[in-house]
């Protein structure tokens, strides 16, 4: 009996380790020159043991064809400028048919309906379209018989937070409540996750760089509930959990749909810092946060390649993990 129990324990541990080791995926942005073909990109994911991919912009056909039979989990996106049209259920049904049902050999996991829509930023024009589009996409997924396989959400970000310190006091800005509260309640009612882009780099990391890079020697923030924080990533993520709990979302899981560190373009945007953040992040998300300990944090690193054609500040162009020639920027990373 003892030997059987020992064997069972070993098998359970193996399953847990397998789940933990597959916690990290990589976003596939294509806004750059001289990038490899979609088929070569998918092969690069496979060679490096990357088992999750986030796709942003259509056309998706070449990438989805390359993903057939690979068992790579896919997060696929509806662009912000498509959201208004998705308020028509027929548009959502057609999109699901063309981009999901036509690829039965692709392992779809999430649909991100919009990205970083915020009443306070340049995406404010899309605010009123997000929730109706989410509802229509979820209904389309269920109508296709895929409701048990594919989750529907939207990708939010820490810019919606008005309070994040200490993490247990996390709260959304007052003027985004009308936007985000119905979304949180919709996710809770339908057992769907929240997607959140979490970037310590954009939270003034120069004030305490080790805290942002997972290299602080000990506790940096003592929350008033006794939780201790030694890195900024956990603090931001738990502030998101606290904020959505105020709107009935305490049990809504958060998937980190983007995180990363640029290698150029700013005072702390260096190759060394980006390497340190990336390696430590991959190791860290296997173990949870102080608020949600003991379970992997499903996380997508941004991004596979630098994107020199991207707009915005210079640092936005330098988040890639690989060069266009498919060589790793930071050496071999252990994704699996």
Active-site entry in 38, 73, 253, 258 = 258
Active-site entry in 73, 116, 298, 307 = 116
CA atoms within 13 A on the CB side of 73: 19
Instruction: Confirm whether 253 is a catalytic residue.
Output: no
Omega of the bond prior to 128 within 30 degrees of 0, cis? Answer: no
Would you say 42 and 72 are in contact if contact means Cβ atoms under 8 Å apart? yes
Which residues 6+ apart lie within 8 Å of 37 measured at CB?
Answer: 62
Which residues 6+ apart lie within 8 Å of 143 measured at CB?
Answer: 93, 96
Contacts 24+ apart (CB under 8 A), 139-144: 139/89, 139/92, 140/89, 140/92, 140/93, 140/95, 140/96, 141/96, 141/100, 141/111, 143/93, 143/96, 144/96, 144/97, 144/100, 144/101
Number of helices (H), then strands (E), belonging to the chain: the values are: 9, 12
List the one residue out of 255, 267, 201, 265 whose CA is nearest residue 233.
201
Instruction: Confirm whether 298 is a catalytic residue.
Output: no
**67/61 Cα distance (integer angstroms):** 10
Would you say 193 and 150 are in contact if contact means Cβ atoms under 8 Å apart? no
β-strand partners of 322: 305, 328
**202/159 Cα distance (integer angstroms):** 10
**150/230 Cα distance (integer angstroms):** 34
Q: Specify the 3-state DSSP secondary structure of 27.
A: strand
Question: Residue 163 belongs to what H/E stretch?
Answer: strand 161-163
As annotated, the active-site residues are 116, 258
């Amino acid at each position: 009996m003892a030997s059987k129990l020992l064997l069972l324990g070993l098998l359970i541990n193996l399953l847990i380790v397998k789940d933990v080791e597959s916690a990290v995926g990589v976003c596939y942005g294509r806004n750059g020159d001289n990038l490899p073909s979609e088929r070569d990109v998918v092969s690069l994911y496979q060679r490096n043991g990357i088992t999750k991919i986030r796709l942003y912009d259509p056309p998706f056909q070449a990438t989805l064809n390359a993903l057939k039979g690979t068992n790579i989990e896919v997060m696929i996106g509806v662009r912000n400028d498509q959201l208004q049209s998705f308020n028509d259920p027929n548009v959502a049904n057609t999109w699901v048919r063309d981009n999901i049902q036509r690829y039965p050999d692709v392992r779809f996991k999430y649909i991100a309906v919009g990205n970083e829509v915020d009443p306070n930023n340049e995406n404010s024009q899309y605010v009123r379209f997000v929730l109706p589009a989410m509802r229509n996409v979820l209904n389309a997924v269920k109508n296709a018989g895929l409701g048990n396989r594919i989750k529907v959400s939207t990708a939010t970000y820490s810019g919606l937070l008005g309070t994040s310190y200490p993490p247990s006091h996390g709260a959304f800005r007052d003027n985004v409540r009308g936007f985000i509260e119905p979304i949180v309640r919709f996710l809770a009612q339908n057992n769907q996750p929240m997607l959140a882009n979490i970037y310590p780099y954009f939270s003034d990391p120069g004030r305490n760089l080790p805290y942002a890079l997972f290299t602080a020697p000990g506790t940096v923030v003592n929350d008033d509930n006794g939780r201790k924080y030694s890195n900024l990533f956990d603090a931001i993520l738990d502030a998101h959990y606290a904020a959505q709990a105020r709107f009935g979302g305490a049990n809504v899981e958060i998937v980190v749909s983007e995180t990363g560190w640029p290698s150029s373009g700013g005072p702390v945007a260096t190759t060394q810092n980006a390497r340190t953040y990336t390696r430590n992040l991959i190791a860290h998300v296997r173990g949870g946060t102080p608020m949600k300990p003991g379970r992997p944090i499903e996380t997508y690193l941004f991004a596979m390649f630098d994107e020199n054609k991207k707009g915005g500040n210079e640092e936005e162009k330098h988040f890639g993990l690989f060069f266009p020639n498919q060589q790793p920027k930071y050496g071999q990373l252990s994704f699996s």
